[in-house]
Amino acid sequence: MNENICVVYTHSKLGDLIWQLPYIKAISDFHKKKITLIVRASTQAKIILKDLDHFDSIEYNNFRKNIYYWIDTYKLYIFLKKKIFSHLYVLDKVSRPAIAAKFAKIKNIIGPGIGNQKKWLTTKTYLNKEDWKLSYSDLSQKTFSINNIPIYNLKPELKINLEREDIDKKIIENKKRVISFGIDSGEDFKMWYEELFVELANKLYEKDLFDQIYLVCGKKNEKMALKIINLSNKKYFINCSNYNLVNIMAVIKKSTFFVGNNSGPLNMASALGIKSYGLISNDPVSELKYSNIIAITPDNYIDNVWNRDREGMKNLTVEKAYNFIIDNLKITN
């Protein structure tokens, strides 16, 4: 049988997609085929996954709600029918990719099978109702287990070819010692305060650990980068809020290490193989268990407890973060 494999993931965040990379690769390895991946455009998957070699193509679908629900489902159906896939994997709990696949007469439709999705799958093995609350990674692991699909590496891996033509040459030609600070997040309560980043930078600079610091954040949080620069009397900060995603990937890849909030860039840094320190105070550190992220938490930190007040990030002191990084880097002088 000539297999043609499609994988669908409907979540919108870059970080969530990165967490699914081990399972997407496991599907490619299992079938010994390159795959088609369908995700939301907001993940910017065509940019971040360009240099991975297990994709045949990457396509976008908006997966919108309300009146657009069936419009986007129909678009997916048309695409699936045209490409004549033999297998479709749904990596989350939604039904619409399985519905589109069923009408496109795809013979093998695999997913968690929780709730309404179950009746659209072709497999006879499903997760239980109790599995609804599993993390996205644990959900995929259990789905793969019941379908006898091996996973050889649970930790996400990304690649970037620094010779890509879409990367700013100034980043590549920069010969200075650089590190990166990930200063924002998709949720305010996960963000360390700007003045704390300034203090940490001062202490790390005294140890002669860098020449420049890239301040990694989105355009909408440019004010955070500018505040850090204005609070500091040093000239080593570089504002990256106007950088596109491929250039963000490049500056992270060029960094000796990354320090940042729980966010997409932190996940990206870890997946790119950069030593990555996560500043965690208000959300569960256990969610990072399938990554190489090195969590820095307050002394009084309790795991699996959510605090949606940003003030809680002040519990993680500069002294704690600094000492942890120095000890981990084994800096003795």
* pLDDT tens, position by position, 152-186: 999 999 999 999 999 999 999 999 999 999 999 99
Nearest to 260 by CA among 243, 274, 279, 273: 279
Strand duo 178-182 + 257-261: pairing: parallel
C-alpha–C-alpha distance, residues 175 and 52, integer Å: 26
Please provide the CATH number assigned to the domain covering 5-146.
3.40.50.2000
Q: What is the pLDDT of residue 213?
A: 98
Taking the CA of residue 304 as centre, how many other CA atoms within 13 Å lie in the half-sphere pointing to its CB? 2
Distances (CA, A) of 169 to 162, 250, 282: 9, 10, 38
Q: What is the pLDDT of residue 167?
A: 96
Integer Rg of the chain from CA: 21
Q: Is the pLDDT of residue 333 over 60?
A: no
Nearest to 93 by CA among 76, 118, 62, 59: 118
pTM score, whole prediction: 0.94
Cβ-contact 314, 193 below 8 angstroms:
yes
* pLDDT tens, position by position, 205-235: 999 999 999 999 999 999 999 999 999 989 9
Q: What is the pLDDT of residue 332?
A: 62
C-alpha–C-alpha distance, residues 136 and 304, integer Å: 16
* pLDDT tens, position by position, 124-148: 899 998 998 898 899 999 999 999 9
Please provide the CATH number assigned to the domain covering 169-329.
3.40.50.2000
Q: What is the pLDDT of residue 146?
A: 95
Q: Is the pLDDT of residue 82 over 60?
A: yes
Lookup: tokens for 70:
């069936």
C-alpha–C-alpha distance, residues 106 and 27, integer Å: 17
DSSP 8-state assignment for residue 105 = T
Residues of the chain with CATH 3.40.50.2000: 5-146, 169-329
Mean pLDDT, to the nearest integer, of 323-331?
Answer: 93
Cβ-contact 181, 157 below 8 angstroms:
no
C-beta contacts of 22-25 below 8 A and 24+ residues apart: 22/151, 22/153, 22/154, 22/155, 22/156, 22/157, 22/290, 23/91, 23/137, 23/140, 23/141, 23/144, 23/151, 24/54, 24/91, 25/52, 25/54, 25/153, 25/157
Lookup: tokens for 16:
């969530």
First-to-final CA distance of the chain: 63
* pLDDT tens, position by position, 309-318: 999 999 999 9
Mean pLDDT, all residues of the chain: 96
Q: Is the pLDDT of residue 118 over 60?
A: yes
